[in-house]
């Protein structure tokens, strides 16, 4: 390139600048405020977008080349996995319920991230961050699609994931992850970046995405773990973008600090609440455990995120208060969540079960201060009842937290025998919360959170029955009607794992694959 | 003789996801394009109105005047999902990389006639800014459009335009120097020949209807500009000994021919849906056609000199034929 006509050789950084920010210009036929109408709405002050340091320098031709190479390898393995009935190599059929939770709860979020990053990738007036956001928008589409394609073969053989898109918009526990992302995308563009780019992708990814992939690796699921490995380098880019964004905003103006701190506080808690589902997955749903939720929290939050917040202290950022609560909850979270899902196993699109005696011993060892004292007795009682033919299903509907939308199942941070209830009055109505932090989030933006589509309220209002249902009919069965509306097939997608079609089919197919009769 | 490799045969419980089966009309095997596209966007029970557009849901059919009974009537004839998209572009970038290497290694640039080199820089380099504008506009369509069937290819298109802007930048650095990039940017900002195009692009930045943006950018402006810039101008340069430049713009010609399949299918589907859609599309096409022709006249002259006017007429008349076939016939006499 540096021929006689070109004077000097360009450095990588300079060359990349020509390939990105050199393309932009200040519009004159249309005012900047009309071209980028949302940049001022949150009060974040950016004085000089040129101070943005590109966290990675990837031109489109290189992007196409590297990503295509990864896709080629990934799909070769997904194909081989399907062709060789790889699903029969998982530890046991209970594991497949993890994939149901993942496909119905997480993969649609990847898609929302795709659209959310496309949105902010249009709205920042700085070219550098816009390009980085657009690439992430494209990556997130990749993740949503590769997850669907990797899990597609499981769907052909097992229940509970066949209508994941329909379920995601409707089923009660899926409104927890859904409302989390709706919240982020409906916020202003800078808050979205702090919520998703920083809090979700940087701070929490090792607690959310990684446990699913490690779980796949530990449980013989080659299809899913290959997707995880394939996404690793994308995730590394997303993490550097998330960190760069927060540093850039904070360096631009001291007035940005209180706004950013408020967002970090809010989104740490919103994220931690979503992690409830991961906690129970790690401790109860993986036949072969990777580590306990508590250990995961200690390594990835207390140690790693602790170091991150030390690094951010020079900008004036402090560790969110909610971390104290979350740290107290680490001994309880997974047990409380799993007992809730066990009770509501008739209304979930995956199977639930009580841990075996061995598994209970593992839980006792991992949670020496709490499991035997608070949870084992309840679980053993349920096991006995189950053995006696009285498998317990809770037929009432739980009260939900107005913000995180999780049933009010959490106990007081300092009293594990007492459910935590918080409430506040806003205009004509009373609103309920699972914690101080959810209450604070509500009180800061009540007009936003009063809009929440709360599944239980919606059921009681009659909005979750198939068209033409008559709730006044004498034989009206509300649970059956709601499940029909969810597209949860009674007896196939829900109820106990023991005796389920999944359990029977897996045993039969594995027998066909490993025995001669 | 044929090998008979045997695997344990298990009869699957279902062939595809339920939402895909409903669209296919039966539970039968679905393609990866279908499983990765159909009904993928959230449609129901949004929790909060966006702060940045509280009059709408996060995804809202009311963001365009175009109405569809089913937004998944749109199909990408290329059946691009992420995997097939990146594989297709990776092959093209390999070819393009080969072309750049060939031109550089054979020392073809120093041997280019000075006028050809100068002319290529003057005409192609300011277009990198136009491509960047097209990137923003297609990203807008992805962000605010409705239904993955349309928004997915829109993001691919947006990233393609960034790629093309970067290839044009590279052409500038191959044929010239960073100073030429600066000069081209100055021309884009100030030179009279470019102001009509820049105004057109900036005016599209403030459009609120994403389907109008699709028409203004992808169907009208690109539909008229690409044949001028990458065909007529390419022939003119080649005739003056500029084959090397032609090698470096081959990506744009191949890409345009391929992308037009998606653009045409999209416009045709929207127009065929209802007379109201067809009338709306027609109104947009007419509005932006007049503006594009005005903006492109000085560009045609810059690129082709005296032959510019005739070339623009020819391109225009072919473009009208294309739109007529798609069910959006522009009215009135061709320019």
pLDDT tens by residue, A80-104: 999 999 999 999 999 999 999 999 9
Q: Is the pLDDT of residue A249 over 80?
A: yes
CA distance A134 to B156: 10
- The residues of chain B scoring below 70 in pLDDT are 331-335
Q: Which of residues 151-170 of A touch B (CB under 8 A)?
A: 152, 155-159, 161-166, 168-170
CA distance A14 to A461: 60
The per-residue pLDDT for A6 is: 45
- DSSP assignment string, A266-297: HHHHHHHHHHHHHHHIIIII-SS-SS-HHHHI
Average pLDDT over residues A34-59: 95
Q: Which of residues 171-230 of B touch A (CB under 8 A)?
A: 173-179, 181, 185, 188-189, 198-199, 202-203, 205-206
Q: Are the C-beta atoms of B29 and B15 separated by less than 8 Å? A: yes
Full-model pTM: 0.97
Angle between helices A376-387 and A333-343 (to 10 degrees): 20
Q: Which of B283, B254, B260 is nearest to B163 (CA)?
A: B254
H-run or E-run covering B323: helix B308-325
| Structure tokens that stand for B204 in this block | 């599209």
State residue A167 phi and psi, 5-degree precision.
Answer: -65, -40
- Average pLDDT of chain A? 95
Q: How far is B265 from chain A (nearest CA, A)?
A: 22
For B173, the closest of A1, A61, A453 (CB atoms) is A1
Which residue has tokens 């973008």?
A241
DSSP A423: E
Q: Which of A332, A197, A322 is nearest to A269 (CA)?
A: A322
The per-residue pLDDT for B332 is: 57
Cβ-based neighbour number of residue B279 at 10 Å: 12
Q: Which of residues 112-151 of A touch B (CB under 8 A)?
A: 112, 114-115, 118-119, 121-123, 127, 130-131, 134-135, 137-138, 141-142, 144-146, 148-149
The per-residue pLDDT for B168 is: 98
Work out whether the CA dihedral B71, B76, B77, B80 comes out positive or negative: negative
Helices (H), B16-126: 18-24, 32-35, 82-105, 114-124
pLDDT grade for A113, boundaries at 50, 70 and 90? very high
Cβ within 8 Å, pair A137-B96: no
For A60, the closest of B159, B189, B205 (CB atoms) is B159
Residue A430 three-state SS:
strand
Question: CA distances (Å), B210 to each of A119, A132, A237, B267, in order?
Answer: 13, 22, 29, 13
Could you read off the pLDDT of A195-246 as tens digits, one per residue?
999 999 888 888 888 899 999 999 999 999 999 999 999 999 999 999 999 9
The per-residue pLDDT for A442 is: 98
The per-residue pLDDT for A8 is: 59
Q: Are the C-beta atoms of B139 and A118 separated by less than 8 Å? A: yes
State residue A412 phi and psi, 5-degree precision.
Answer: -55, 140
The per-residue pLDDT for A288 is: 97
Question: CA distances (Å), A82 to each of A24, A93, A250, in order?
Answer: 46, 16, 48
State residue B56 phi and psi, 5-degree precision.
Answer: -120, 160
Q: Which residue of A has its CA nearest to B95?
A: A61
Q: Is the pLDDT of residue A459 over 90?
A: yes
Q: Is the pLDDT of residue A23 over 80?
A: yes
Cβ within 8 Å, pair B169-A4: no
- Characterise A398 by phi-psi region: left (phi > 0), alpha (psi -120 to 50), beta (else): beta
For A30, the closest of B50, B83, B205 (CB atoms) is B205
Q: Are the C-beta atoms of A281 and A97 separated by less than 8 Å? A: no
Q: How far is B123 from chain A (nearest CA, A)?
A: 16
The per-residue pLDDT for A63 is: 98
CA count, 13 A, side-chain hemisphere, A16: 16
Q: Is the pLDDT of residue A50 over 60?
A: yes
Question: CA distances (Å), B197 to each of A117, B127, B166, B299, in order?
Answer: 28, 10, 19, 8
pLDDT > 90: what percent of chain A? 92
Q: Which of residues 30-69 of B touch A (CB under 8 A)?
A: 32, 35-36, 39-52, 58-59
The per-residue pLDDT for B27 is: 97
ipTM reported for the complex, 2 dp: 0.97
Cβ within 8 Å, pair B52-A189: yes
CA distance B286 to B264: 17
Q: Is the pLDDT of residue A441 over 70?
A: yes
CA distance B244 to B188: 24
Could you read off the pLDDT of A318-369 as tens digits, one per residue?
999 999 999 999 999 999 999 999 999 999 999 999 999 999 999 999 999 9
Q: Which residue of A has its CA nearest to B29?
A: A156
The per-residue pLDDT for B333 is: 45
Instruction: Show Cβ contacts of residue A472 under 8 Å, excluding neighbours closer than 6 positions.
Output: none
The per-residue pLDDT for A517 is: 67
Q: What angle do CA A170, A176, A179 make, to 5 degrees?
A: 80
CA distance B218 to B145: 15
- DSSP assignment string, A155-182: HHHSSS-TTHHHHHTT-GGGHHHHHHHH
Q: Are the C-beta atoms of A131 and A179 separated by less than 8 Å? A: no
CA distance B226 to B233: 10
| Structure tokens that stand for A337 in this block | 């969540």
The per-residue pLDDT for A275 is: 96
Average pLDDT over residues A68-84: 96
Q: Which of A500, A204, A227, A244 is nearest to A352 (CA)?
A: A500
CA distance A49 to A127: 8
Residue A422 three-state SS:
strand
Cross-strand pairs, A516: none
Helices (H), A187-255: 189-192, 205-218, 222-252
Could you read off the pLDDT of B199-246 as tens digits, one per residue?
999 999 999 999 999 999 999 999 999 999 999 999 999 999 999 999
């Amino acid at each position: 390139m540096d021929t006689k006509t070109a004077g000097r050789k360009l450095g990588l950084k300079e060359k990349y600048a020509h390939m990105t920010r050199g393309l932009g210009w200040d519009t004159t036929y249309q005012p900047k405020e009309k071209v980028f109408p949302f940049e001022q709405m949150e009060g974040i002050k950016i004085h000089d977008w040129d101070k943005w340091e590109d966290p990675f320098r990837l031109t489109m031709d290189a992007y196409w080349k590297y990503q295509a190479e990864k896709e080629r390898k990934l799909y070769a393995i997904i194909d081989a996995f399907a062709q060789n009935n790889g699903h029969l190599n998982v530890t046991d059929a209970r594991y497949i319920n993890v994939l149901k939770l993942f496909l119905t709860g997480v993969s649609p979020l990847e898609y929302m991230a795709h659209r959310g990053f496309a949105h902010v990738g249009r709205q920042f007036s700085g070219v550098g961050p816009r390009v980085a956001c657009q690439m992430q928008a494209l990556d997130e589409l990749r993740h949503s699609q590769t997850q669907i394609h990797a899990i597609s073969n499981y769907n052909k053989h097992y229940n509970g994931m066949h209508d994941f898109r329909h379920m995601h918009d409707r089923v009660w526990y899926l409104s927890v992850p859904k409302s989390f992302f709706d919240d982020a995308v409906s916020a202003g563009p800078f808050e979205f970046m702090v919520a998703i780019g920083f809090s979700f992708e940087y701070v929490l990814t090792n607690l959310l995405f990684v446990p699913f992939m490690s779980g796949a690796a530990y449980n013989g699921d080659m299809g899913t773990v290959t997707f995880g490995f394939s996404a690793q380098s994308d995730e590394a880019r997303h993490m550097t973008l998330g960190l760069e964004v927060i540093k850039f905003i904070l360096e631009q103006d001291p007035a940005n600090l209180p706004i950013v701190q408020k967002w970090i506080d809010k989104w740490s808690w919103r994220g931690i609440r979503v992690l409830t589902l991961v906690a129970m997955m790690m401790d109860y749903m993986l036949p072969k455990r990777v580590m306990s939720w508590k250990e995961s929290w200690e390594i990835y939050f207390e140690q790693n995120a602790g170091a991150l917040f030390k690094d951010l202290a020079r900008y004036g950022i402090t560790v969110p208060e909610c971390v104290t609560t979350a740290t107290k909850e680490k001994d309880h979270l997974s047990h409380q969540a799993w007992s809730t899902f066990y009770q509501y196993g008739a209304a979930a699109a995956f199977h639930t079960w009580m841990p075996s005696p061995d598994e209970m011993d593992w839980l006792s060892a991992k949670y020496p201060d709490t499991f035997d004292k608070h949870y084992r007795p309840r679980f053993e009682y349920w096991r006995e009842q189950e053995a006696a033919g009285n498998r317990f299903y809770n037929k009432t509907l739980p009260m939900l937290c107005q913000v995180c939308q999780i049933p009010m199942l959490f106990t007081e941070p300092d009293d594990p025998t007492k459910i935590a209830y918080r409430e506040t009055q806003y205009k004509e109505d009373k609103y309920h919360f699972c914690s101080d932090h959810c209450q604070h989030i509500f009180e800061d933006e009540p007009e936003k959170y009063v809009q929440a589509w709360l599944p239980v309220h919606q059921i009681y209002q009659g909005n979750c029955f198939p068209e033409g249902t008559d709730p006044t009919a004498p034989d009206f069965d509300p649970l059956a009607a709601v499940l029909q509306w969810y597209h949860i097939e009674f007896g196939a997608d829900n109820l106990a794992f023991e005796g389920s079609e999944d359990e029977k089919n897996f045993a039969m197919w594995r027998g066909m694959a490993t025995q001669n009769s | 003789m044929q090998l008979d490799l045997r695997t344990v045969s298990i009869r699957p419980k279902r062939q595809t996801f339920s939402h895909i089966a409903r669209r296919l009309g039966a539970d039968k095997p679905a393609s990866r394009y279908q499983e990765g596209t159909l009904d993928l966007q959230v449609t129901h029970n949004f929790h909060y109105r966006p702060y940045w557009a509280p009059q709408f849901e996060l995804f809202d059919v009311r963001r365009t005047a175009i109405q569809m009974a089913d937004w998944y009537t749109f199909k990408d004839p290329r059946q691009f999902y992420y995997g097939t998209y990146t594989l297709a572009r990776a092959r093209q970038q390999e070819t393009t990389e080969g072309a750049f290497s060939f031109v550089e290694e054979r020392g073809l640039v120093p041997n280019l006639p000075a006028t050809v080199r100068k002319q290529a820089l003057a005409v192609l380099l300011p277009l990198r800014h136009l491509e960047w504008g097209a990137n923003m506009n297609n990203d807008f369509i992805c962000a605010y459009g409705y239904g993955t069937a349309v928004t997915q290819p829109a993001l691919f298109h947006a990233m393609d335009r960034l790629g093309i802007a970067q290839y044009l930048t590279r052409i500038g650095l191959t044929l010239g120097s960073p100073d030429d990039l600066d000069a081209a940017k100055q021309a884009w900002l100030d030179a009279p020949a470019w102001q009509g195009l820049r105004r057109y692009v900036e005016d599209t930045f403030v459009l609120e209807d994403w389907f109008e943006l699709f028409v203004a950018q992808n169907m009208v402006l690109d539909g008229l500009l690409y044949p001028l810039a990458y065909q007529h101008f390419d022939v003119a340069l080649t005739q003056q000994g500029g084959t090397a430049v032609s090698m470096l713009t081959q990506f744009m010609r191949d890409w345009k021919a391929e992308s037009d399949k998606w653009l045409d299918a999209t416009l045709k589907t929207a127009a065929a849906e209802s007379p109201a859609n067809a009338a709306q599309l027609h109104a947009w096409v007419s509005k932006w056609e007049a503006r594009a022709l005005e903006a492109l006249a000085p560009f045609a002259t810059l690129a082709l000199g005296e032959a510019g006017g005739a070339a623009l007429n020819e391109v225009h008349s072919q473009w009208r034929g294309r739109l007529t076939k798609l069910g959006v016939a522009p009215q009135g006499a061709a320019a």
